Amino acid sequence: MTLLERNLSVLKGKNPELHSLLAAVPDDETITAEETGSGDRVPQVARGAKKVMVHSRFDPVKEAERFISEIDPSDYDLIVVMGFGFAYHIQVLLSRMNDNAVLAVVEKNPGMIRAALAHRDLSAALADPRLVVMVTPGEDDFAEMLRGKSSKRVSFITHRGSHQLDPDYYASATGLARSFVSTKEVNIATLAKFEKIWSSNIARNLGRFIDSPDAGIFYGKFTGIPAIVVAAGPSLHMSMDFIRRNRDSALIVAVDTAYRILVRAGIEPHFCLAVDPQVINARYFEGTGPTETVLVTDPTVHPATFRLFRGRAVTAGIAFEMMKWIEKISGARAELSHGGSVSTNAYDFAKKLGASPVIMTGQDLAFTGGYAHARGSYLDEQVHLRTGRLGTAEMFNRRQLTALPPIFVRGIGGGRVQTNQKMVIFMSWFEKRNDADLINASAGGAVLPGIRHVRSEEIRLPGPSRDIAASIKSILAAAENDGSSEGLRSGVRDALAEKIDKMSREVDSIIPVLQRAAGFSEKLVHEMRAKRRDQGKVDYILTKLAESDRIIESKSGIKDLVSFTAQRVIHTITEGYDLGEDEAPVSEDEMVARRSGYLYRGLLEGALFNRKLFARMSMILEA
């Protein structure tokens, strides 16, 4: 059996897709294996008349050891390496990493990997469960690779020899990997922060959700009509004349932060998007009067939003799979795409209306002029209300600018502008739309990659082809005056009440099981800490925990919902967050027991929370 065949046979069982790719790819004739002074084989790549050595021509093993000595691999949960080469650096990393860490290697050229397998025995490295090799990966590949794996402590390493073969590709791949990991961290932090708020708001808004029209009644009804999406970036005031000039020719779709600014300027938007669950976002509508603007929202917003907004509202579908049981009874609703910022929702809504083109304003995604928000927004006013001798407006802005590490990108007005990783994620979201019909007409801020930028003074929209406001009124009136809707809503309320009663009884039955499991886990931790372990007790506890697991698993109707409200706990365990693992070292057995107890306590907390949630929903349905 040749080296190539031996290596491929190992890979076949571990990664069939990569095995098939490498087995089928032809030998790369630009790559030759050269013998070094140490007797090892290294790749030499022909680049026209130039020959590029990917590893040291003298001793690639020592080179790899010096290269890896720049970091301590044992400090990381995830190491992302750009470039496979002939894997000398990969072998050194694997020898120094923790047993539960992940080593993800990105390689552009499958021919390079095939050449490595043909000239070196890499069977041990390929069989190592910690190693993941990806050829030109996309976001989905990173998502699959990181599923259920910790990425709290990450290191990105570029193999110098591989990088010189294609600097642009490896720079781009590093950016993609960093962006994905950052996005994952933001998503985890958001989920941990808002999991219970989302569920609580959905419960409190249940009546509104049933009674309000579906946001989808407007989808596709404004094909070919331009839309101006109004975000609340610092440059918004410079776009007000453009918006005012075109308010009869285009759909004006505002984000909640920008709503009051527009109203005070005498511009009543056609639609306003609100999707944030926090009460501060409801206050964006505080003090505003009756309006013809239609609020577009989903049931996760704070209930005060519906009270403070003095106009009609439509609701989109529930974004969370664990709460979809409500829509299964009430009827599916149109959904909005979520990109982490309400401006992404507003853009998506405009597209679903059929609008063309979609023109963004106030979409700075940068601290234009050193400010975070448009002048006159609720958030801007709060800064000034909180100022005093010990806290000036400039100090508040400085804190916002330094809350995350600064990133400098190309600015719309030239030069560089300051942004941060959170806003870079939003830039990436818009870039991935690959929408030739999207125009960024923001007067300041960051240049959005892949998005056409046009100065608002250069945009000439055609005159109104129809009365947009009248069309919106007509569509909404038809939905609200549907004769069958009242009886349908009554039937939905009865069906929801029945479902909630059933789930309440099921959650009541699971609470004692979780309480016992949490207690047994505490006893297990105590046994794991003992100098002389009583194996009989350990076996008994494990048997009882297994019984609890079987009961919990059998509660198919409620376990997923309980898990949804315990995401902070689940991610703490899978991602290594805030579990005290950086404290005094403990045995692996004790750490497993601690994680078990943490999980059961978290699920118990989720079950108790859901019991309160169901009680609230029942009261709302009875009202």
pLDDT at 596: 85
The answer to whether 174 touches 539, Cβ cutoff 8 Å, is no
Higher pLDDT, 326 or 389: 326
Stated as kind and residue range, the H or E segment containing 43 is: strand 41-47
pLDDT at 243: 97
pLDDT in tens, 373-404: 887 765 555 544 444 444 444 544 555 565 56
Mean pLDDT lowest for which of 115-129, 144-158, 162-176, 465-479?
144-158
> In sequence order, what are the residues at sequence separation of 6 or more whose Cβ sits closer than 8 angstroms to the Cβ of residue 75?
153, 155
| CA triple 367-258-191, angle to 5 deg | 75
CA dihedral 299, 304, 306, 308 (to 10 degrees): -160
Angstrom distance (rounded) from CA 365 to CA 151: 26
Percent of the chain with pLDDT over 90: 60
pLDDT at 385: 44
Angstrom distance (rounded) from CA 162 to CA 53: 9
- Beta-carbon count within 10 A of 313 CB: 21
Mean pLDDT lowest for which of 184-198, 329-343, 536-550?
184-198
Query: How much is the average pLDDT of 210-235?
Result: 95
Question: What does pLDDT average to over the chain?
Answer: 87
The answer to whether 112 touches 25, Cβ cutoff 8 Å, is no
pTM above 0.95, yes or no: no
The structure tokens 């007005």 sit at 413
Q: Is the pLDDT of residue 107 over 80?
A: yes
Q: Is the pLDDT of residue 55 over 80?
A: yes
pLDDT at 373: 82
The burial class, CB within 10 Å (0-12 / 13-18 / 19+), for 289 is exposed
pLDDT at 190: 61
- For the chain, the domains span 3-186, 205-478, 486-622
Nearest to 401 by CA among 234, 180, 235: 234
Structure tokens at 442: 């923001």
How far CA 431 is from CA of 196, 339, 435, in Å, comes to 31, 12, 8
Could you tell me which CATH number the domain at 3-186 has?
3.90.190
| pLDDT confidence tier of residue 567, bands split at 50, 70 and 90 | low
pLDDT in tens, 263-273: 999 999 999 99
| pLDDT confidence tier of residue 38, bands split at 50, 70 and 90 | very high
| pLDDT confidence tier of residue 447, bands split at 50, 70 and 90 | very high
**In angstroms, how far is CA 45 from the centroid of its own chain?**
39
Q: What share of the chain is helix, strand, coil (3-state, %, to 5)?
A: 55, 15, 35
E-state strands within 426-562: 438-440, 452-453
CA atoms within 13 A on the CB side of 361: 26
Query: How much is the average pLDDT of 56-71?
Result: 93
pLDDT at 378: 58
Per-residue DSSP letters for 263-275? HHTT---SEEEE-
Query: How much is the average pLDDT of 14-39?
Result: 93
Mean pLDDT lowest for which of 22-31, 305-314, 482-491, 543-552?
482-491
pLDDT at 322: 72
The answer to whether 273 touches 349, Cβ cutoff 8 Å, is yes
